[in-house]
Amino acid sequence: MSIGLIALLDDVAALAKTAAASLDDVAGQAAKAGAKAAGVVIDDAAVTPRYVVGFAAERELPIVGRIALGSLRNKLLFLLPGALALSALAPWAITPLLMLGGAYLCYEGTEKVYEALFPHEAHAHEDQVGAAAGTDRTVEDRRVASAIKTDFILSAEIMAITLAAIPEGNFWTRAAILAVVALGITVAVYGAVALIVKADDAGVALANNTAAPPLGSLGRGVGRALVRGMPGLLKLLGIIGTAAMIWVGGGILIHGLESYGLSAPAHAIHDLAGRIGAMLPAARGFIEWLVTATASGLVGLVVGGALIPLTSFVLAPAWQSVSRLRPGAA
């Protein structure tokens, strides 16, 4: 009996070691794969705060929470199984789907630029596509829905990059790695966004602290700086977020064309970035990234600019016609 019990404990210990090794392998591969998608993760973090600007302070964290839950649902319920299924059954479909998502990002970002430059025309465009103003709750719901749609595209890019970085192997191991990356990235992005949007409240608390100097004085100074600086920072992040949508969308389209043999735009941008970066070797990496992002942004602006009238005069009327045919439609 004791020998059997010892053998059983040995088997349990061996299984535990195997499970621990598997978990370590999943965590290690998830960290490596997640690092590959770091650029898109940063863009995702830059895009999100713009959806919170303009709402009452008490609604900021609930809005971030709603977007975060939508993001996690995007990744775990749709993108994770979709990515695994497409990679196994129809890998050819991944690139065109990503390109469609890139085109949507170009449209969304360019529409914001259009709204800033031509507000009256932009309001007319919103009316045509059914985005007219409503109550505070409906405005919030639309803003959250728009953020989740944008997150879906960025998350699809993150999951595609992650999947490409995972070596072929066991289906469940690949699924676990994708799930770990999805959860980790969502927590990191929306945790950072929550800290950003509530930094002004932290600034007020610090500015009103009554601690004795020197720590109290330092805290009050930092608090006043946060209170004064956060509105400007949020506006800057809104601009960066809009720009990120355009350059990420343009970059997706450029890489997609390259995968179909149309590599001239990608090669031209790469060569231009290399030549300009060589002029400033001390900041070569940043300069090359800046040139690439700018060129991708110009492509995104062109594509987004073409999609605005196409959406207004073709896609939106067609969608409204289809909607009227649905049972129960007014």
Residue 205: predicted pLDDT: 87
Q: What is the pLDDT along the chain (330 residues), one digit of tens a residue?
A: 455 545 544 554 454 444 444 445 556 555 554 555 556 666 667 777 777 777 777 888 899 999 999 999 999 999 999 989 988 899 898 899 889 988 988 998 899 898 888 876 655 656 556 555 555 678 888 889 988 988 888 888 888 888 877 777 778 888 888 888 889 889 988 988 888 888 888 888 888 888 888 888 888 898 999 889 888 887 888 788 888 889 989 999 999 999 999 999 999 999 999 999 999 899 999 999 999 999 999 999 999 999 999 888 887 777 777 767 666 554
Cα 226 vs. chain centroid, distance in angstroms? 26
Among residues 202, 244, 16, the alpha carbon closest in space to that of 112 is found at 244
- Could you state, in order of their start, the residue ranges of all structural domains in the chain? 24-325
Which pairs from 317-324 meet CB under 8 Å and 24+ separation? 317/128, 320/130
Among residues 252, 231, 261, the alpha carbon closest in space to that of 303 is found at 252
**Cα–Cα dist 174/86, whole Å:** 14
Cα 2 vs. chain centroid, distance in angstroms? 57
Residue 65: predicted pLDDT: 93
* Interior/surface letters 16-26, b for 16+ CB within 10 angstroms, e for the rest: eeeeeeeeeeb
**Cα–Cα dist 95/78, whole Å:** 17
Note whether 52 and 63 are within 8 A (CB). Answer: yes
